[in-house]
Amino acid sequence: MNFTIENVLIAAHDAYATVDVQVIDGKIAAISDDTLRAYAADLDVFGTTFDGRNKLLLPGFVNAHTHSSEMWQRGIMSAFPLELWLAELYDFAPIDTEKVYLSALGTAVETLLSGGTSVVDHLVLIPGQEFETIATAVRAYKEVGIRAFIAPLIQDESLTAGIPSGESTQTHEPYFRSTAATLEIIEEAVRQFHRPDEGVNILVAPTGIQLCTDALFEGCIELSDRYNLCRHSHLLETRAQEKLAQEKYGCTAVEHLKRIGYLSDRTTLAHCVHLNDADIAIVAETQSTVVHNPLSNLRLGSGIAPILKYRQAGINVTFGCDGASSNDSQDLLEAIKIGSILHNVTDSDYQHWITPRQAVEMASLGGAKGLNLADKLGSLTVGKQADLVLYDLTNLSLLPRTDPIGLLVLGRPTNVVDSAWVNGKQIIADGKVTTINVDDLRQELFNRSQWEITRKSQTVAQIEAHYRTVMGL
Ligand SMILES: [Zn+2]
């Protein structure tokens, strides 16, 4: 669809400009500024027009790390650190693809309604239905129309291998699926679904050093090189993982991943809470991207990632909600807010603090860079894809009129997204998703769940004592 958004506010250097933005064939074709108003008549002849008055137009953000099916357990997870939390999560994870479908829809909708136009879904696969899980998520994201980066979460070691052994000798069950079989599933998913031009991308996504062998990482590197795929993993989310890396490799996880060639300018690393200065230098040198998941890091007690240090080292940083069981929402604006101001307590030099405009750039261009798409997405630039979000500045939560970006990031914006387009296709209009029936989605989420008060994870009961010993608790 071709269209023009007229008289809309955009960020311009340190100020704002009122412009017309024209989209043709899914791309930003022209941006007329005030000084070119005389030529604006030329911009109006194509397609539909949208009234941009009292609205702010920003490039769509990237929800750069989440796990959609965690939506089914939001609000109920125990107050546990990651290793025990994961045990509980997997004991109650959904095992039917219809639930995967619905939570992918829900994740897409909540991302869109909080400013995101792209989502990186580190997708938990149902054992025995791995390929179907991926196909289901693809279907859901295509229906909504959000730009999807599906990163099937893979591992080849069983859960207990993710906890350091400490003084004891631990043996672990072998993982139920071979490394080769896992890699075959990913390759088949790439062949069938990786269609960047249609807004569906498959990533290689070994979950992290805690549950993956080098053989799995190497297989992923090979697929990534052969099919030009981005790479996505968790990295050093917890102290336990830091300890485990030393046990496993005798060096830090970052040093090891560099040695095997996993880090690159199309590698995004979720969390990065426990990196030392040498690790930071490696991440910078390899041009890997850090995905900051502040809410999850707080919820699971993982720690505060040294984001200001990363930025000073020149590392590209962007934001993720992380799965909805460790957050427990998919509100990207909330993640951006907390992910910015959280760091003011870590550095008394306020000149290092993240400003709202920097946060917006991290969430948009930073996300695009991490996905190796900085030339196509992430800014209002002529020639880039039209992944756009229009915010209603007359919404109560954005009033009175002050600095629109300041209030969008630092305030508590509620129902502020008026319209959103992905690849020039409108998928939010008047604050409502146009592509799927959200009332039906609400009904399905309601019907397939129930209020729960208590539940007990058997796996947690089995591993908690060892976890406490090894972590000195
Ligand atoms: Zn995660």
CA 212 to ligand 1 center in whole angstroms = 15
Q: Give which of 316, 305, 309, 320 is closest to 274, Cα–Cα.
A: 305
Q: Report yes or no: 328 and 299 within 8 Å, Cβ to Cβ.
A: yes
Domain boundaries, the chain: 3-59+379-434, 61-370
What average pLDDT does range 12-35 have in this prediction?
Answer: 89
pLDDT of residue 38: 46
Residues 6+ apart with CB under 8 A from 29: 22, 23, 46, 382
- Lookup: tokens for 332: 């990207």
CA 3 to ligand 1 center in whole angstroms = 37
pLDDT of residue 392: 98
Supply the mean pLDDT for the chain. 95
Q: Is 201 exposed, middle or buried (0-12, 13-18, 19+ CB in 10 A)?
A: buried
C-alpha distances in Å from residue 434, one per residue of 98, 146, 418, 420, 431: 21, 12, 12, 10, 9
What average pLDDT does range 436-460 have in this prediction?
Answer: 94
Fold type of domain 61-370: TIM Barrel (3.20.20)
CA 352 to ligand 1 center in whole angstroms = 27
CA 378 to ligand 1 center in whole angstroms = 23
CA 207 to ligand 1 center in whole angstroms = 8
CA 24 to ligand 1 center in whole angstroms = 36
Q: Report yes or no: 200 and 194 within 8 Å, Cβ to Cβ.
A: yes
CA 122 to ligand 1 center in whole angstroms = 7
CA 30 to ligand 1 center in whole angstroms = 38
Q: Which amino acid is at 447?
A: N
Ranges assigned E (strand) in 311-466: 316-319, 388-392, 417-422, 425-429, 432-433
Alpha helices (H) in 286-353, listed in sequence order: 294-299, 307-312, 332-341
CA 65 to ligand 1 center in whole angstroms = 6
DSSP letters along 110-149, please? HHHTTTEEEEEEEEEPPTT-HHHHHHHHHHHHHHHT-EEE
C-alpha distances in Å from residue 30, one per residue of 102, 373, 385: 37, 20, 12
pLDDT of residue 453: 74
CB atoms within 10 A of CB 91: 14
What average pLDDT does range 436-447 have in this prediction?
Answer: 98
Q: Report yes or no: 115 and 411 within 8 Å, Cβ to Cβ.
A: no
**CA dist., res. 123 & res. 109, Å (int):** 16
- Domain 3-59+379-434 sits in CATH at 2.30.40.10
What average pLDDT does range 193-204 have in this prediction?
Answer: 98
Beta-bridge partners for 108: none
3-state secondary structure at position 286: coil
pTM of the model: 0.97
Residue 14 pLDDT > 90: no
pLDDT of residue 34: 59
Least confident among 5-9, 40-44, 92-96, 268-272: 40-44
pLDDT tier, 45 (very low <50, low <70, confident <90, very high otherwise) = low
pLDDT of residue 43: 56
What average pLDDT does range 373-386 have in this prediction?
Answer: 98
CA 4 to ligand 1 center in whole angstroms = 38
The helix (H) or strand (E) run that includes residue 48 is: strand 48-51
CA 293 to ligand 1 center in whole angstroms = 8
